[in-house]
Amino acid sequence: PLLLSLLLLLSLLLLLLPQVMMVPYNQLDPDSSFATAFTQAGMPWAQYLVALGATLGIMTGVLVGVMGVARIVTSMARTHLFFPIFGKIHDRFGTPMWATLFVTIAALPLCILTDLPALVNMVSAGTLMVFGVVALALIWKRIIQPKAPFRSNTKPFAMMFFLTAACIGKALCGGCGVCGTAGACG
């Protein structure tokens, strides 16, 4: 964890220092600071390279997400928790073709009909929830019940159900205005 933290700090410094050296900090645009810094420094052509890199980064993130969820769907299908066709692997490529198609087609309407900032927030919250549930499940399995068989999963299921319900409740309350602050619940 220490090395990872140091590498993240180094990456942050390598990203922020050139921007602050090119343009004063108070003149950076909060929406597109890197591209704007190049434009204000007299290199407007570089904003297109930054935009291309950002677009490729977003596309890579989406493809990695689809591949990860397709692997989960494949595992679920192999353990008979989902339709068996989604557990089949392509003969030539060795990839879960049907699961990947299913996940892509299922996510397509959400991607098309949702504005980008809301979609980014949903992906971030979903990723955080997945990592949190996996971390709690590992703690439960390794520390609390290290020798218990997988059949005794009533309590972990209840805990994960509670976490999922809490996340869904928070997402639904996010813009309801019940607390009087119109979306700042919590």
Which residue in 119, 132, 121, 120 sits closest to 159, CA to CA?
Answer: 132
Q: From its phi and psi, is residue 152 left (phi > 0), alpha (psi between -120 and 50) or beta?
A: beta
Kindly report, residue by residue over 126-152, the tens digit of the pLDDT: 777 777 777 777 776 776 666 665 555
**Cα–Cα dist 24/26, whole Å:** 6
Read off the pTM.
0.53
Quickly list H helices, 79-153: 97-113, 116-139
Joined tokens for residue 133: 């549930």
pLDDT in tens, the chain (186 residues): 688 888 888 888 877 777 667 777 777 777 777 777 888 888 888 888 888 888 888 788 778 878 888 888 888 888 887 788 888 998 998 889 999 999 888 888 877 887 877 877 777 777 777 777 777 777 767 766 666 655 555 666 676 677 777 767 776 666 555 554 444 444
H or E stretch at 55: helix 46-78
**Cα–Cα dist 107/121, whole Å:** 15
**Cα–Cα dist 107/112, whole Å:** 9
Q: What is the CB neighbour count within 10 angstroms for residue 10?
A: 10
| Structural Rg of the chain based on CA atoms | 22
